[in-house]
Amino acid sequence: MATIILYSKSGCHLCDLARTYLEDALAGSEVPLDEIDIRRDPDLFERYRYRIPVITVNGVERLEGRIEAADINALVASLA
């Protein structure tokens, strides 16, 4: 089973949109969604601070920045 992680931070409107799109795309599936606040880890903050939101699947960065619902739907569909 795939592991999806959303790297984000509070107050990021692009992160909020990506989370909503992911939750909608994953509704009814058994694929878990984990969210990590990059401010809790200095290394993650340095790595992603200008790129969030970042979505990884099984540790591979797949989407970042201004993410559209269609991009997430295609990503989730590719996991099936």
pLDDT tens digits for 36-49? 999 999 999 999 99
Evaluate if residue 5 carries a pLDDT over 90: yes
CA-to-CA distance for 15 and 6, rounded, in angstroms? 8
Evaluate if residue 80 carries a pLDDT over 90: no
Q: Which of 20, 30, 16, 35 is CA-nearest to residue 79?
A: 30
Q: Which of 1, 52, 11 is CA-nearest to residue 31?
A: 1
CA-to-CA distance for 16 and 2, rounded, in angstroms? 22
> Which domains are assigned to the chain?
4-78 (3.40.30.10)
Evaluate if residue 35 carries a pLDDT over 90: yes
CA-to-CA distance for 64 and 44, rounded, in angstroms? 14
pTM, two decimals, is: 0.94
